Every structure is written in C-alpha cells, then in structure tokens.
Structure 1
C-alpha cells in the first residue's frame, strides 16, 4: 500500500514538473520560465489579497458583538470601584457627539455582511446617554481635582527632598536670598500640613462628585445592565455561536472567490491541451496551480479550527476525557489522507484524459509522459510506462485507456 502511494506520488510530481516547464513536450527556455514564475508570484500575491479582503466581508465575532469584551471585563472584575471606572470609561470628554457609540457600532455594518447584535445596540444607546454633556462636566471637574492633588503631592515630595539641605543652610546661617531651596526649614512642616489638608479636601470633593455621577438615572441604568447576568449569558451565547461559525463562513466566502477561477483554469487547460495550444496550456496550468495552492492551505486551516475540529474534539472528549492531545494523532492521519484524495481528484480532472490519450496515440507519444516513441514500443523508454493492455476478446495487445480494441473493435473495460 505504502509502495503504491509512493509510486503514485513520484509519478504525480514528475508529471507535475514536466507540465510546468514544457510547451508541447519541448522544454521552456530559462528566460520564459523566469517570466512565467514572476507572473505566478504576482498573481499569487493578488489571490491572497483577494482572499483576505473577501474573508473580511462578513462581520467578525468582535465586530458583531463589540460590547462583549467590555461587558465580560465588568462581570469578571472584583475591584471595589468598578462601577465608577466603567461609567467613567463611557464618558468621552474630547467630543460633543451624543450618539458616538451607536454610530461607531453600526459603522462596521456598511458594505459588509452580518449585523451588530441587538444587545450591543441597546448597550450603546445607554452608553450614549451616560456620555452626556452634564456628565462630561462632572468628569472634567473630577479630573481637574485629581490634577491638583498630583501637583500638591509632587510639591510635598519636593519639600521632603529639600528639607535636609534647607536645615543645613539654617545651621550655617546662610541668607535666604542665596538658598537653592524653594522653602525654608521653618516653613517646610507647616507647608506640608497645609498641602495635606488641601489634598484631603480635594479627595472629599472628588468622592461627592463620584457619588453624584453614580446617582444619575442613566448611569444607574448602565450599571444595572452590566450587572444583569442573564442578559450577559445571552450575549455570551451569541458571541460563542458567532465564533463557532465564523471560520466556516470565511472558508465559504474564500471558496466562492477561488472556485470560479479554478473552474475557468481547468476548462481553458483542457481545451488548449486538446487543441494543441501549448503556450495557453502551460499558462493555464500555472494559473490552476496558483489557484489551488491557497485553496488547499485554507482547507487545511479550516480543518484545524473549523466545525470538523470542533466535532473531533467533542468526540475525543466524550470517549477519552481530557486527552485532547489525541487530536494531533487524528490529524496526522486525516490531513495526509485529505491531501492524497485532493491530488487524486485533480489529477483526474486535469490529468491524462481520454482526449489527450487519443492525441498522444495518434502522434506516437507515450500515454503518460507524452515523449515521442515508436509504434512497436511496448514500454516508454523515458518513463517505463506500459503502453498496451491485452484485449479480453481477441487476446491481442491494444492501447491502454482507449474505449475499443484496435484489432477486433471489442469495447474495453476502462
């Protein structure tokens, strides 16, 4: 079995290289081959660009549920002041727009598939109410008082750092006019106490302003929504569902982009091969390979993260518990098998079809490698492929893969 697979792969890759570098079985000169490879690279880059663009056509889970992460952060937070922190985050000081959150959520829907979750639109409406001009003013006052506290604390640190040198200046009876310190040793303690009282007063004022902000009806509604575990569970369920289906949607859109290109390349390649248009056949073959490379990569990527991965992991969890490393063993066997089947399929689609075989027989070419041979040759002297098969009716050698015996006309089993 393994020997047959290796023989098949060797034959496939030999045929692949031959088809990729010859025109009507004549080798392509190096300059032409370099030009073709450069064109291949250019097209491949554009194909991946197109795949990236079309994969973003549908809204991602984060775009469909833009409020999920923030809501999840609140539900998971254990901070004592989280109500104020999240209300404060909803207030944007540097803009006067009252509908910014809803507009920003809906903006991603333009020219895209999918919709923003209704739960997040409700969430955005309440945040826009919190982001009112009155609440902005309260936040500005709080921030201003925090800035004053920072200045006072910085001044206190300066006084403490200069106290020792000012004390030495006092002992040395140095005049104040020649002092390098901002304040004398006698006034340092008094100034520190005064600053500390001012800091305490500012903290009290900040506490009053925070209480005032949290008492606003729209803020209360916002905090109640963040605390609503049942609504968050519904949101989480929708987000998980979107995460589950998103890879499938992406592979579907990417296939929608690639499959027409692959079909066109196959049709042109088959037609040009039958008609003997060597250069067209070579170029269409290169295009077909270019279109297949990203498709295969996306298929393997989907196998790793898509529905199939979820199904396999669920089965393993049911059968073997938490031994999820067994998924790697499964994929080690599945992915090569999938690759083998894909190669086999496309070899049949673009490989030695009967029309090509008829043309090669008529031109005295090898059925497999298309090299020139003599009519009496039983095997190809270049690739060793046997050219004939015994007719079941007259027991005479006739050409392989052709529908009828060239001696008695008996229909051959393909």
Structure 2
C-alpha cells in the first residue's frame, strides 16, 4: 500500500473525484468516528491515571512537611488508582480525624473561620464606605455623623476579629491529638521514598498512557487495514482509509509528545538551569528566537518550493494547450509550426531530439519522430 495511492483513495471513487454531497457525508462520518476514537482512547488512558490522580494534592502536600493546621486534616480524596503510599497515609490521617475531641474542635474551628470570613467582608465594606463618606465630607456634601458611625462600626468589627483569632489560637494544637506522632513518623520515614515514587511515575506515566492508547488503536487499525486490502468494494476502501487516517492522528500526536517528553523537555530544563546559573537568560532567549525563526523559515521555503513545482507543472500543461492551438509558447501569438521561429518574438519553435537528431516542437515532452522523452523541455 503506497502512501500516494492511499491519499488518492481518500476522496476518489472509481478514479473520479467524490461529489460535494459525498464529501460532506464523509466529513460528518469522520467527525463521528474521530469523536468515538478519542472517547475510546480516553477510556483506556484512564487506566493509567495522571500523576495528580495517582498522587493527589491532598496527599502530596503532607510529604512536603508534616501539616499542623486544622483545615489541612481532612480525609485524603482517593481514587481507584491512587498510590499505596497515599492510601497508607490516609489511614494515619484518619487516626487524627476520627478522634472525637478533634471532630468537636474541627467543627468549632470551621465555625470560627466562617465568622472570620463574614467579619472580613463587613470590614472591607466599612472601609470602602468610610473612604466614600470621607470624600463626601471633603466635598462639603455631608457632615461628620456618618463618618463617626462608620468608625464605631469598624472598631467593633476589629475587636470582634481579634476575639475570633484569640479563640482559634486557643484551640488545642494538632500535635496534641492521638495519632499525630504516628502520622509524623510516617511522613518522616516515607518522605524521600514518596519523592522518588512521584518522580519515577511522573516520568513513566506518558509511556503507560501511550501503551493504553495502542491497546485501543492497534486492533482497530488492523481491522481497517484488513478491509482496505481485502475488500473489492471501493466504498469500503474509502471508509477504511479514513478510519486508518483518523487512528493515525492521535497516535502520531502522542509519539511526538513522547519524543518531547524524553529529549527536548529534559534538555530544555537543563539548558535553562545552566543559563540561569551563569546569569545569561537573555542569550537563551536569543537562541530560542533564532531557532523559531529558522524553523518557520525552513517551513516557508519548502511550502514555496512545492507551490513553485505545482506552478511549473501547470505551466507545462498550459504550454501543451497553447501549442495545440498553434500559438507560440513564449508570446502566445498564432504561428506556423512549419517555420523555425515565431515572427512576433523570434522564439525558436523547434529543438533537436537528443536521440534521433530530428527537429521536434519545443515545449512538448516527447519527440515527434522517435517518441523519445525529452528532458528539461
């Protein structure tokens, strides 16, 4: 199966271009298939969870340092694919969060925090109001009564906030609860191991994810390829070719990401660290700009080269039509091809065939005497 045949069969039926209606139906089918393929890939990739699912944030923050605040001690949100170390940590946290004394104080802590938030909202409103009324006072649009009332209300809220903070600070420290020492020992013992597990999983997870993608894509691709090669019906060829193309797109995208994950991402991080260490990040920025300009320049060059080749091919086709109408291929004026030159521009109408040495019309790809293909006409 050659690529160009494959490409041609995407939009042709019995060597004829598909009608606009058929193309529209194919586009609708492609959209449906692509959505179904992406959905199937996502379902498979869920079996290889992201690092933030495998090591939830509510778990990983504990391994930074042992937590000491009430609102940091909630049962860790776990999934079916959560790492064992986080599940074990959850058990240690549960020793604290299930303590009746902790539950009572945690509820009180939540209530005091809620009152603090309400107090801060009111304080902010008073501050805004105070500033507005002060402006009015300066503008002689109001007396000082409203400003004095706002001042009293503000001072009351400040005192209330101080009382709330004092009550929060008076709550027993987290370290005083049963189970905290066991929790702290678990964190200290597993801290370096957790970091190693996290870094390893973060590096290998894209490979696990790609393997899951292949388990979905490869069987479907092989089935489509079998129909493409074995079926004699051209409509089956077209649909199976589209399926293979749609399967190829997410696969190549993931391959490119893996290449970036393995080489440029790591390399880029090391390069940035090096330039930061020597204080020459500007040089790195110049290099990045130069590489981007080079990449776009190369892309534009090849695009223009392809466009030029297409124009040259179109020009050759036009020359054939011009000669068929007995016109000069240089100035397009009617000529007599039994003559040697165009009477309008002097263009030589014939050339010598390199094979038979006979004269043949210039601009045509084959010799009129021996039929030899003439290069570079």
| TM-score, normalization by structure 2 | 0.56
* CA deviations over 1:149-196 (Å, ceiling 9, x no partner): 7888969x97996xx99xxxxxxxxxxxxx98998x9xx79x969x95
CA–CA distance in 1 between the matches of 2:227 and 2:118?
76
Match of 1:49 in 2: 39
Match of 1:134 in 2: 101
Tell me whether 1:71 sits opposite 2:33 in the alignment: no
Match of 1:266 in 2: 225
Matches within 5 A, 1:124-163: 124-132=90-98, 133-145=100-112
1:270 Cα shift? 1.2
CA–CA distance in 2 between the matches of 1:192 and 1:292?
68
1:235 Cα shift? 0.2
Match of 1:234 in 2: 193
- Which stretch has the larger CA shift, 140-149 or 235-244? 140-149
1:242 Cα shift? 0.6
| TM-score, normalization by structure 1 | 0.51
Contact 1:262–1:288 (Cα < 8 Å) also in 2: yes
CA–CA distance in 1 between the matches of 2:35 and 2:118?
56
1:146 Cα shift? 5.6
Count, aligned residues: 268
Unaligned 5+ runs, structure 1: 1-10, 76-81, 92-99, 110-114, 166-178, 337-383, 385-414
CA–CA distance in 1 between the matches of 2:257 and 2:238?
29
Contact 2:6–2:241 (Cα < 8 Å) also in 1: no
RMSD over aligned Cα, in angstroms? 4.8
Contact 1:268–1:281 (Cα < 8 Å) also in 2: yes
Match of 1:313 in 2: 267
Contact 1:54–1:254 (Cα < 8 Å) also in 2: yes
Contact 1:68–1:236 (Cα < 8 Å) also in 2: no
Match of 2:89 in 1: 123
CA–CA distance in 1 between the matches of 2:237 and 2:246?
14
- 1:116 match: secondary structure: coil
Pick closer, same or farther for the CA change 1:28–1:147 going to 2, 3 Å: closer
- 1:84 match: secondary structure: coil
* CA deviations over 1:234-277 (Å, ceiling 9, x no partner): 101001111111111111111111111111122211112xxx42
Match of 2:168 in 1: 206
Matches within 5 A, 1:2-401: 13=4, 15-66=5-56, 67-72=58-63, 74-75=64-65, 83-85=67-69, 87-91=70-74, 100-101=75-76, 104-105=77-78, 108-109=79-80, 115-132=81-98, 133-145=100-112, 196=159, 203-211=165-173, 213-226=174-187, 228=188, 230-272=189-231, 276-305=232-261, 307=262, 313=267
Unaligned 5+ runs, structure 2: 135-144, 276-283, 300-364, 366-377
Pick closer, same or farther for the CA change 1:137–1:26 going to 2, 3 Å: same
CA–CA distance in 2 between the matches of 1:56 and 1:34?
33
CA–CA distance in 2 between the matches of 1:150 and 1:54?
44
1:147 Cα shift? 6.1
Contact 1:61–1:239 (Cα < 8 Å) also in 2: yes
